[in-house]
Copies of this chain bind each other. A is one copy, B any other.
Amino acid sequence: MAVVLTKDSKVVVQGATGHQGTFHIGAMKTFGTNVVAGVTPGKGGQSVHDIPVFDSVQEAVKETGADVSLVFVPAPFAKDAVLEAVDAGVKTVIVITEHIPVHDAMDFVNYAKAKGVTLIGPNCPGAASPGENIKVGILPGMIFEPGPIGIASKSGTLTYEIVNALTEAGIGQTTCLGLGGDPCQGTNFIEALELFQADDETKGIVLVGEIGGTAEEEAAEYIASGKVTKPVYAYIAGRTAPEGKKMGHAGAIVQGDKGTAESKQKAFEAAGVKVAKFPTDIAQFVKADLGSA
Protein backbone atom coordinates (compact mmCIF):
# COMPACT_ATOMS: atom_id res chain seq x y z
CA MET A 1 0.00 0.00 0.00
CA ALA A 2 0.95 3.61 0.41
CA VAL A 3 -0.49 6.53 2.34
CA VAL A 4 -2.96 9.24 1.24
CA LEU A 5 -2.74 8.33 -2.48
CA THR A 6 -3.38 4.87 -3.90
CA LYS A 7 -4.08 3.54 -7.36
CA ASP A 8 -7.80 3.82 -6.65
CA SER A 9 -7.60 7.59 -6.10
CA LYS A 10 -9.56 9.65 -8.61
CA VAL A 11 -8.23 13.14 -9.02
CA VAL A 12 -10.02 16.38 -9.85
CA VAL A 13 -7.86 19.42 -10.62
CA GLN A 14 -9.14 22.85 -9.51
CA GLY A 15 -7.69 25.52 -11.72
CA ALA A 16 -7.42 23.02 -14.58
CA THR A 17 -7.30 25.36 -17.55
CA GLY A 18 -4.49 27.64 -16.39
CA HIS A 19 -0.89 27.22 -17.51
CA GLN A 20 0.13 25.20 -14.46
CA GLY A 21 -3.05 23.13 -14.39
CA THR A 22 -2.81 22.18 -18.03
CA PHE A 23 0.88 21.28 -17.84
CA HIS A 24 0.59 19.15 -14.73
CA ILE A 25 -2.56 17.33 -15.82
CA GLY A 26 -0.40 16.09 -18.70
CA ALA A 27 2.54 15.23 -16.45
CA MET A 28 0.32 13.42 -13.95
CA LYS A 29 -1.39 11.38 -16.66
CA THR A 30 2.03 10.36 -17.97
CA PHE A 31 2.96 9.17 -14.48
CA GLY A 32 -0.21 7.08 -14.36
CA THR A 33 -2.38 9.26 -12.15
CA ASN A 34 -6.10 8.71 -12.68
CA VAL A 35 -7.06 12.33 -13.36
CA VAL A 36 -10.81 12.20 -13.92
CA ALA A 37 -11.89 15.84 -14.01
CA GLY A 38 -10.86 19.43 -14.11
CA VAL A 39 -12.72 22.39 -12.67
CA THR A 40 -12.64 25.99 -13.81
CA PRO A 41 -15.75 28.08 -13.16
CA GLY A 42 -17.16 29.27 -16.44
CA LYS A 43 -15.20 26.74 -18.52
CA GLY A 44 -17.42 23.70 -17.97
CA GLY A 45 -17.69 21.63 -21.13
CA GLN A 46 -14.09 22.20 -22.25
CA SER A 47 -11.44 19.54 -21.87
CA VAL A 48 -7.74 19.42 -20.99
CA HIS A 49 -5.68 16.46 -22.21
CA ASP A 50 -9.02 14.72 -22.85
CA ILE A 51 -10.08 15.27 -19.25
CA PRO A 52 -13.53 16.86 -18.96
CA VAL A 53 -13.69 20.28 -17.30
CA PHE A 54 -16.64 21.20 -15.05
CA ASP A 55 -17.90 24.46 -13.60
CA SER A 56 -17.93 23.20 -10.03
CA VAL A 57 -16.31 20.52 -7.88
CA GLN A 58 -19.79 19.38 -6.85
CA GLU A 59 -20.57 18.59 -10.48
CA ALA A 60 -17.16 16.99 -11.08
CA VAL A 61 -17.58 14.71 -8.06
CA LYS A 62 -21.11 13.81 -9.06
CA GLU A 63 -20.13 12.96 -12.63
CA THR A 64 -16.76 11.27 -12.06
CA GLY A 65 -16.58 10.10 -8.45
CA ALA A 66 -13.40 12.12 -7.85
CA ASP A 67 -12.14 11.77 -4.26
CA VAL A 68 -8.87 13.74 -4.35
CA SER A 69 -8.75 17.39 -5.30
CA LEU A 70 -5.61 19.19 -6.44
CA VAL A 71 -5.78 22.96 -6.04
CA PHE A 72 -3.87 25.30 -8.36
CA VAL A 73 -6.28 28.19 -7.82
CA PRO A 74 -4.57 31.60 -7.25
CA ALA A 75 -4.05 32.62 -3.62
CA PRO A 76 -6.94 35.12 -3.28
CA PHE A 77 -9.44 32.43 -4.34
CA ALA A 78 -7.79 29.37 -2.80
CA LYS A 79 -9.87 29.36 0.38
CA ASP A 80 -13.09 29.35 -1.65
CA ALA A 81 -11.73 26.49 -3.75
CA VAL A 82 -10.81 24.35 -0.74
CA LEU A 83 -14.16 24.95 1.00
CA GLU A 84 -15.90 24.00 -2.24
CA ALA A 85 -13.88 20.77 -2.46
CA VAL A 86 -14.59 19.83 1.16
CA ASP A 87 -18.33 20.49 0.80
CA ALA A 88 -18.35 18.53 -2.45
CA GLY A 89 -17.27 15.48 -0.47
CA VAL A 90 -13.72 14.67 -1.61
CA LYS A 91 -11.62 12.82 0.96
CA THR A 92 -8.27 14.50 0.25
CA VAL A 93 -7.34 18.02 -0.84
CA ILE A 94 -3.81 18.91 -1.95
CA VAL A 95 -3.10 22.63 -2.15
CA ILE A 96 -0.13 23.69 -4.30
CA THR A 97 -0.88 27.42 -4.27
CA GLU A 98 1.65 29.58 -2.42
CA HIS A 99 1.26 32.98 -0.75
CA ILE A 100 -2.19 32.16 0.65
CA PRO A 101 -3.14 34.58 3.48
CA VAL A 102 -2.43 32.71 6.70
CA HIS A 103 -5.91 33.31 8.13
CA ASP A 104 -7.44 31.80 4.99
CA ALA A 105 -5.22 28.77 5.48
CA MET A 106 -6.23 28.48 9.14
CA ASP A 107 -9.87 28.62 8.10
CA PHE A 108 -9.73 25.91 5.48
CA VAL A 109 -7.27 23.69 7.36
CA ASN A 110 -9.58 23.66 10.40
CA TYR A 111 -12.68 23.13 8.28
CA ALA A 112 -11.13 20.23 6.36
CA LYS A 113 -9.93 18.63 9.60
CA ALA A 114 -13.36 19.03 11.18
CA LYS A 115 -14.95 17.33 8.19
CA GLY A 116 -12.51 14.42 8.22
CA VAL A 117 -10.79 15.51 5.03
CA THR A 118 -7.00 15.03 4.71
CA LEU A 119 -5.48 18.30 3.57
CA ILE A 120 -1.90 18.46 2.29
CA GLY A 121 -0.28 21.86 1.91
CA PRO A 122 -0.70 24.70 1.17
CA ASN A 123 2.47 25.90 -0.58
CA CYS A 124 3.58 22.34 -1.22
CA PRO A 125 4.66 20.29 -4.25
CA GLY A 126 1.99 17.63 -3.68
CA ALA A 127 2.39 13.93 -3.03
CA ALA A 128 3.41 10.79 -4.89
CA SER A 129 3.02 7.06 -4.30
CA PRO A 130 5.26 5.55 -7.00
CA GLY A 131 4.23 1.94 -6.37
CA GLU A 132 0.63 2.94 -6.99
CA ASN A 133 1.53 4.88 -10.12
CA ILE A 134 0.12 8.07 -8.77
CA LYS A 135 1.48 11.54 -8.16
CA VAL A 136 -0.73 14.52 -7.44
CA GLY A 137 0.97 17.86 -7.69
CA ILE A 138 4.07 19.26 -9.33
CA LEU A 139 6.72 16.79 -8.20
CA PRO A 140 8.95 15.53 -11.03
CA GLY A 141 7.90 11.97 -11.82
CA MET A 142 11.27 10.60 -12.93
CA ILE A 143 12.95 10.77 -9.51
CA PHE A 144 10.64 8.19 -7.89
CA GLU A 145 10.90 4.42 -7.59
CA PRO A 146 8.61 2.10 -5.65
CA GLY A 147 10.16 0.97 -2.39
CA PRO A 148 10.04 0.99 1.40
CA ILE A 149 10.67 4.62 2.42
CA GLY A 150 8.07 7.19 3.40
CA ILE A 151 9.04 10.86 3.11
CA ALA A 152 7.42 13.92 4.61
CA SER A 153 8.88 17.29 3.84
CA LYS A 154 8.46 21.03 4.26
CA SER A 155 10.49 21.76 1.13
CA GLY A 156 10.10 20.96 -2.60
CA THR A 157 13.38 20.86 -4.48
CA LEU A 158 15.30 19.76 -1.42
CA THR A 159 13.03 16.74 -1.24
CA TYR A 160 13.59 16.00 -4.92
CA GLU A 161 17.33 15.94 -4.20
CA ILE A 162 16.84 13.53 -1.34
CA VAL A 163 14.38 11.29 -3.19
CA ASN A 164 16.66 11.30 -6.22
CA ALA A 165 19.62 10.27 -4.07
CA LEU A 166 17.53 7.47 -2.52
CA THR A 167 16.49 6.24 -5.95
CA GLU A 168 20.08 6.43 -7.21
CA ALA A 169 21.12 4.38 -4.18
CA GLY A 170 18.53 1.78 -5.12
CA ILE A 171 16.09 2.69 -2.37
CA GLY A 172 12.52 3.32 -3.46
CA GLN A 173 9.61 5.10 -1.78
CA THR A 174 6.10 4.20 -0.60
CA THR A 175 4.79 7.75 -0.53
CA CYS A 176 6.39 11.16 -0.60
CA LEU A 177 4.30 13.86 1.10
CA GLY A 178 5.17 17.50 0.46
CA LEU A 179 3.74 19.15 3.58
CA GLY A 180 4.53 22.70 2.51
CA GLY A 181 6.56 25.59 3.85
CA ASP A 182 3.76 27.73 5.28
CA PRO A 183 3.20 28.30 9.00
CA CYS A 184 -0.22 26.66 8.87
CA GLN A 185 -0.05 23.17 7.38
CA GLY A 186 -2.99 20.85 6.71
CA THR A 187 -0.85 17.83 7.60
CA ASN A 188 2.17 18.11 9.88
CA PHE A 189 5.06 15.80 10.73
CA ILE A 190 3.20 14.03 13.53
CA GLU A 191 0.24 13.27 11.27
CA ALA A 192 2.63 12.06 8.55
CA LEU A 193 4.40 9.83 11.08
CA GLU A 194 1.03 8.34 12.12
CA LEU A 195 0.24 7.55 8.50
CA PHE A 196 3.61 5.98 7.75
CA GLN A 197 3.71 4.04 11.03
CA ALA A 198 0.34 2.50 10.13
CA ASP A 199 1.43 1.60 6.60
CA ASP A 200 2.82 -1.93 6.43
CA GLU A 201 4.93 -1.33 3.35
CA THR A 202 6.77 1.63 4.82
CA LYS A 203 9.94 0.38 6.56
CA GLY A 204 11.66 3.68 7.24
CA ILE A 205 10.66 7.34 7.38
CA VAL A 206 12.51 10.45 6.20
CA LEU A 207 11.55 13.86 7.56
CA VAL A 208 12.81 16.95 5.76
CA GLY A 209 12.42 19.89 8.10
CA GLU A 210 13.56 23.45 8.21
CA ILE A 211 13.82 26.35 10.61
CA GLY A 212 10.66 27.95 12.00
CA GLY A 213 7.96 26.72 14.36
CA THR A 214 8.26 23.63 16.51
CA ALA A 215 6.82 20.89 14.28
CA GLU A 216 10.17 19.05 14.28
CA GLU A 217 10.48 19.22 18.07
CA GLU A 218 6.91 17.94 18.46
CA ALA A 219 7.59 15.14 15.98
CA ALA A 220 10.69 14.21 17.98
CA GLU A 221 8.63 14.07 21.16
CA TYR A 222 6.06 11.91 19.39
CA ILE A 223 8.79 9.54 18.20
CA ALA A 224 10.39 9.45 21.64
CA SER A 225 7.03 8.49 23.16
CA GLY A 226 7.34 5.14 21.39
CA LYS A 227 4.46 5.67 18.95
CA VAL A 228 6.85 5.32 16.01
CA THR A 229 8.72 2.02 15.89
CA LYS A 230 10.20 2.41 12.40
CA PRO A 231 13.60 4.07 11.88
CA VAL A 232 13.35 7.80 11.23
CA TYR A 233 15.93 9.94 9.40
CA ALA A 234 15.91 13.69 9.17
CA TYR A 235 17.47 16.62 7.42
CA ILE A 236 16.95 20.17 8.65
CA ALA A 237 17.58 23.14 6.38
CA GLY A 238 18.52 26.58 7.65
CA ARG A 239 21.30 25.97 10.17
CA THR A 240 22.94 29.22 9.13
CA ALA A 241 19.83 31.35 8.65
CA PRO A 242 19.92 34.63 10.57
CA GLU A 243 17.28 35.48 13.18
CA GLY A 244 14.16 37.33 12.06
CA LYS A 245 14.39 36.67 8.30
CA LYS A 246 11.85 34.65 6.33
CA MET A 247 14.04 32.30 4.30
CA GLY A 248 11.95 31.98 1.17
CA HIS A 249 9.13 30.07 2.87
CA ALA A 250 6.56 31.97 4.91
CA GLY A 251 7.16 29.52 7.74
CA ALA A 252 10.97 29.42 7.62
CA ILE A 253 11.93 31.96 10.23
CA VAL A 254 13.88 31.92 13.46
CA GLN A 255 12.15 34.19 15.98
CA GLY A 256 14.30 35.09 18.96
CA ASP A 257 15.66 31.73 20.05
CA LYS A 258 12.62 29.85 18.73
CA GLY A 259 12.58 27.70 15.62
CA THR A 260 16.34 27.18 15.28
CA ALA A 261 17.81 24.26 13.37
CA GLU A 262 19.95 23.49 16.39
CA SER A 263 16.92 22.97 18.64
CA LYS A 264 15.31 20.70 16.05
CA GLN A 265 18.48 18.69 15.51
CA LYS A 266 18.95 18.18 19.25
CA ALA A 267 15.34 17.10 19.70
CA PHE A 268 15.57 14.61 16.84
CA GLU A 269 18.86 13.17 18.05
CA ALA A 270 17.49 12.78 21.55
CA ALA A 271 14.61 10.80 20.04
CA GLY A 272 17.02 8.47 18.23
CA VAL A 273 16.52 10.05 14.81
CA LYS A 274 19.62 10.19 12.61
CA VAL A 275 20.11 13.75 11.36
CA ALA A 276 22.04 14.28 8.14
CA LYS A 277 24.52 17.13 7.60
CA PHE A 278 24.05 17.17 3.80
CA PRO A 279 20.77 16.30 2.05
CA THR A 280 22.18 13.39 0.10
CA ASP A 281 23.63 11.80 3.25
CA ILE A 282 20.12 10.56 4.00
CA ALA A 283 20.42 7.96 1.25
CA GLN A 284 23.65 6.62 2.80
CA PHE A 285 22.01 6.42 6.25
CA VAL A 286 19.06 4.48 4.92
CA LYS A 287 21.20 2.21 2.79
CA ALA A 288 23.38 1.34 5.76
CA ASP A 289 20.31 0.42 7.82
CA LEU A 290 18.08 -1.28 5.28
CA GLY A 291 20.37 -2.35 2.46
CA SER A 292 19.23 -1.66 -1.06
CA ALA A 293 15.61 -2.44 -1.82
Contact = CB atoms under 8 A, between A and B. Distances in A.
Interface of A: 114-115
Contacts of A114: 114-115
A115 B110 CA distance: 10
A270 to B, nearest CB: 28
Nearest to A110: B114
A114 B114 CA distance: 5
A263 to B, nearest CB: 28
Contacts of A115: 114
A116 to B, nearest CB: 9
A261 B115 CA distance: 34
A107 to B, nearest CB: 13
Leading 2 A-B pairs by shortest Cβ distance: A114-B114, A114-B115
2 contacts: A114-B114, A114-B115
A115 B115 CA distance: 8
A35 to B, nearest CB: 30
A49 B115 CA distance: 40
A159 B114 CA distance: 34
Nearest to A115: B114
A276 to B, nearest CB: 38
Nearest to A111: B114
Nearest to A113: B114
A243 to B, nearest CB: 34
Nearest to A114: B114
A111 to B, nearest CB: 8
A114 B110 CA distance: 10
A122 to B, nearest CB: 21
A115 to B, nearest CB: 6
